[in-house]
Amino acid sequence: MRDVILRLPMQGAELAKTPTGIRGLDEITRGGLPKGRPTLICGGPGSGKTLLAVTFLVNGAVQFGEPGVLLTFEENGDEIANDVASLGFDLPELIKAQKLAVDYVRVERSEIEETGEYDLEGLFVRLNYAIQSTGAKRVVLDTIESLFAGLSNGGILRAELRRLFRWLKDQGVTAVVTGERGDGLLTRQGLEEYVSDAVILLDHRVHDQVSTRRLRVVKYRGSYHGTNEYPFLINSEGISVLPVSSLALQHQAPMDRVSTGVSRLDEMLSGKGYFRGSTILISGTAGTGKTSLAAHFVDAACRRGERCLCFLFEESPQQLLRNMRSIGIDLEPWVAAGLLQFHADRPSRYGLETHLVTMHNVVAAFKPSVTVLDPVTNLMTVGTYSDVQAMLTRMIDYLKTENITALLTSLTPGKTDLERTETTISSLMDTWILLANNEVGGRHRRGLYVLKSRGMAHSNDVREFALTDRGLELLDAAGAAGDASAGRDTPIERTRLS
Amino acid sequence: MKKSNGAGSYQLRLYVAGQTPRSIAAFTNLKKICDNHLKGRYELEIIDLLTKPQLARGDQILAVPTLVRRLPEPVKKIIGDLSNTERVLIGLDLRPAR
């Protein structure tokens, strides 16, 4: 993914950046936050501002050798440490190692009487002391707007905030300032007015009882950045942001081919099978053999020693292994050999974004050559068609960038609604194979048809096939028993076109 | 510098940042108030945060000048140049709030 971004056009020298170490965010911002400048992170309560800011600090200290200072106004050091312990961060340890300093600034209005002129030099002194004692390169102020609740002289506060941000720049530290989302403003006190370099907006929405988090770079002065809303996820592995569509259509188009696992189907695809790194859709009504065809492909890939990852949205891995064994495909050895991994999840378990980010993370960790989504249509239950399309676009884009061959199965509900699902995603597909059951002359016949396969001369025949105990077998094109309709011109095509 | 006027029941600290006109004004105003209202029963400590920055944290100092009444409890803070005597007296609980 990083490669893709580097291939985007560059104009002149870009600003120096400070990497956040947050997956995805550094891609969207093309390298991180503006170095030596303050960035504003705003969002409503519970949108993840503090976690994002603390992650920036911890990654700096742990991964980039940049100590940090956390000036917290709302929670004390222990509370913050507890909050982020679930992300695997050990703040006390970092503090002990002098890679991090935490100063809790408590402003209690009831304790304070204001009389005459003052400034916030005390705050500057504390911040400076913390920066000096750790050699900090990164500073987080969370949430400085609390000052407005504790002190009544707004005029002084505003002047001092302006001075503070100027001062932070002079110190050369990369600062993150968090702010609570306000009415009609990005932040309650209009902090965006003072922090003009970069603004990131976080959003947390609950729709149909499914919560999704989104992140948007509202502003990034002097730098290209992705402008979309990007889903992000907070889990035990920390924060990950998912860039949409990797920003550009710049995948490689490899010429090498991979077997479908069914030699006669390879023949139909100009003799060699699918393109490596392409996306294949297998659609059909229930029980037409979609998963079986996918299993052949997985089996063939594992035989070549390639790694395969299967996302199951309907069956458990055990069910799938059992069912495939019944048609003579034994995938168990590949699981044992570590070449094949299953990841089964109920679609309704969480929102599309979470599925997307989870899949992204699993793929990034396992680094497969082949990924199967079975069946992708089950995701339709948790989102609208356009949501699912957007999500699959991102997923497929990511897989293509990584040169992973993706096989998706799609359950067609019935003949009347035949193309509804498919049209949503078909344009993303390089190869589309249609499976159907047809009753002809009192016999149930299975037919397979290559609807499209970009970049190759593929067969236009509708071929009959059988599911045997040796797997999926395509029958002779001419028809096994002199039955012309067995191989060609079965009613499948007519059904589709009507 | 520490200035003690006997075993006073008032323990005060004035935090400043350098010898600015504002911190000098705060000190002068405070001295006057103490002499007039707390004579013989206060202890005053002046802390310059530019030389002792590490002390800002303990008393939660944010603004300067800040006068902290450490004793009697509860802890009270009065920020500003202390030019409004009436408010300082209210802040120190030497005069009931109106």
Quote the pLDDT of residue B98: 53
Q: Which residues of B touch A116 (CB under 8 A)?
A: 25-26, 80-84
B91 and A126 in contact by Cβ < 8 A? no
Quote the pLDDT of residue A10: 45
> How far is residue A297 CA from its own chain's centroid?
25
Q: Residue A343: count other Cβ atoms within 10 Å of its Cβ.
A: 17
B63 and A103 in contact by Cβ < 8 A? no
Label the pairing between strands A33-34 and A17-18: antiparallel
Tokens of A14: 């870009």
* Ordered domains of chain B (ranges, CATH): 2-91 (3.40.30.10)
Instruction: Give the Cα separation of A398 and A403 in Å (integer).
Output: 9
Q: Decide: residue A402, CB within 10 A, 0-12 exposed, 13-18 middle, 19+ buried.
A: middle
Closest to A381 (Cα-Cα) out of A229, A209, A243, A203 = A209
What angle (nearest 5°) sits at the alpha carbon of residue A332, between those of residues A280 and A266?
30
Alpha-carbon Rg of chain B, whole angstroms?
A: 12
Quote the pLDDT of residue B6: 44
Closest to A164 (Cα-Cα) out of A121, A200, A202 = A121
pLDDT in tens, A208-230: 666 678 899 988 988 877 777 88
Q: Region of A397 please: left (phi>0), alpha (psi -120 to 50) or beta.
A: alpha
Domains A2-244 and A257-497 share a fold: yes
Quote the pLDDT of residue A243: 65
Quote the pLDDT of residue A477: 67
- Pick from B19, B66, B75, B79 the residue to mutate for testing the A interface (most A CBs within 10 Å): B79
Summary mean pLDDT of chain B? 87
Quote the pLDDT of residue A6: 42
Q: Is residue A76 within 8 angstroms of chain B, CB to CB? A: no
Closest-CA residue of chain B to A107: B60
Query: How many Å lie between the alpha carbon of B26 and the closest alpha carbon of chain A?
Result: 9
Beta pairing partners, A229? A216
Quote the pLDDT of residue A15: 81
Tokens of B56: 């800002």
Residue A307 main-chain phi, psi, to 5 deg: -90, 140
Closest-CA residue of chain B to A160: B63
Q: Which residues of A touch B76 (CB under 8 A)?
A: 111, 113
Quote the pLDDT of residue B74: 86
Instruction: Give the Cα separation of A39 and A32 in Å (integer).
Output: 11
Closest to A418 (Cα-Cα) out of A391, A436, A396, A444 = A436
Query: How many Å lie between the alpha carbon of B14 and the closest alpha carbon of chain A?
Result: 12
Q: Is residue B37 within 8 angstroms of chain A, CB to CB? A: no
How crowded is the C-beta side of A336, counted as CA atoms within 13 Å?
5
DSSP H or E stretch at residue A142? strand A138-142
pLDDT in tens, B36-55: 999 889 999 999 999 999 99
Tokens of A375: 């069946």
A129 and B54 in contact by Cβ < 8 A? yes
**A384 within 8 A of A424, measured Cβ to Cβ:** no
Query: How many Å lie between the alpha carbon of B22 and the closest alpha carbon of chain A?
Result: 8
Quote the pLDDT of residue A310: 96
A115 and B62 in contact by Cβ < 8 A? no
In this prediction the pTM is: 0.70
Query: How much is the average pLDDT of B83-91?
Result: 90
Tokens of A462: 């509708």
Instruction: Give the Cα separation of B10 and A160 in Å (integer).
Output: 32
pLDDT in tens, A254-265: 789 999 999 999
Topology at the third CATH level for domain A257-497: Rossmann fold (3.40.50)
Quote the pLDDT of residue A421: 55
DSSP labels, A407-447? EEEEE---STTTTHHHHHHHTT-SEEEEEEEEEETTEEEEE
Cβ contacts below 8 Å, chain A against chain B, sum to 97
Sign of the CA dihedral running A28, A32, A35, A38: positive
Closest-CA residue of chain B to A130: B54
CATH class of A2-244: alpha beta
SS3 string of A308-349? Answer: EEEEECCCCHHHHHHHHHHCCCCCHHHHHCCCEEEEECCHHH
Percent of chain B's residues with pLDDT above 70: 89
Quote the pLDDT of residue A414: 63
Q: Is residue B87 within 8 angstroms of chain A, CB to CB? A: yes
Tokens of A80: 């913050």
pLDDT in tens, B14-29: 999 999 999 999 999 9
**A422 within 8 A of A283, measured Cβ to Cβ:** yes
Tokens of A243: 């860039």
Q: Which of A107, A117, A147 sits opposite B80 (nearest CB)?
A: A117
- Pick from A72, A74, A76, A121 the residue to mutate for testing the B interface (most B CBs within 10 Å): A121
Q: Which of B15, B22, B76 sits opposite A117 (nearest CB)?
A: B22
Length of chain A: 498
B60 and A119 in contact by Cβ < 8 A? no
Quote the pLDDT of residue A208: 61
First to last CA, chain A: 42
Q: Is residue A110 within 8 angstroms of chain B, CB to CB? A: no
Interface confidence (ipTM) of the complex: 0.89
Q: Which of B15, B57, B81 sits opposite A117 (nearest CB)?
A: B81
Q: Is residue A122 within 8 angstroms of chain B, CB to CB? A: yes
Quote the pLDDT of residue A473: 92
Instruction: Give the Cα separation of A74 and A125 in Å (integer).
Output: 19
B83 and A129 in contact by Cβ < 8 A? no
Residue bearing the bigger pLDDT, A66 or B96: A66
Q: Which residues of B touch A123 (CB under 8 A)?
A: 62-63
Instruction: Give the Cα separation of A62 and A91 in Å (integer).
Output: 11
Closest-CA residue of chain B to A122: B62
Sequence ranges of the domains in chain A: 2-244, 257-497
Q: Which of B50, B60, B81 sits opposite A105 (nearest CB)?
A: B60
A126 and B57 in contact by Cβ < 8 A? yes
B83 and A117 in contact by Cβ < 8 A? yes
Quote the pLDDT of residue A268: 93
Closest to A388 (Cα-Cα) out of A463, A317, A313, A329 = A313
Q: Which residues in chain A come in under a pLDDT of 70?
A: 1-14, 207-211, 243-252, 414-424, 477-498
- Pick from A125, A132, A144, A157 the residue to mutate for testing the B interface (most B CBs within 10 Å): A125
**A257 within 8 A of A431, measured Cβ to Cβ:** no
Query: How many Å lie between the alpha carbon of B39 and the closest alpha carbon of chain A?
Result: 22
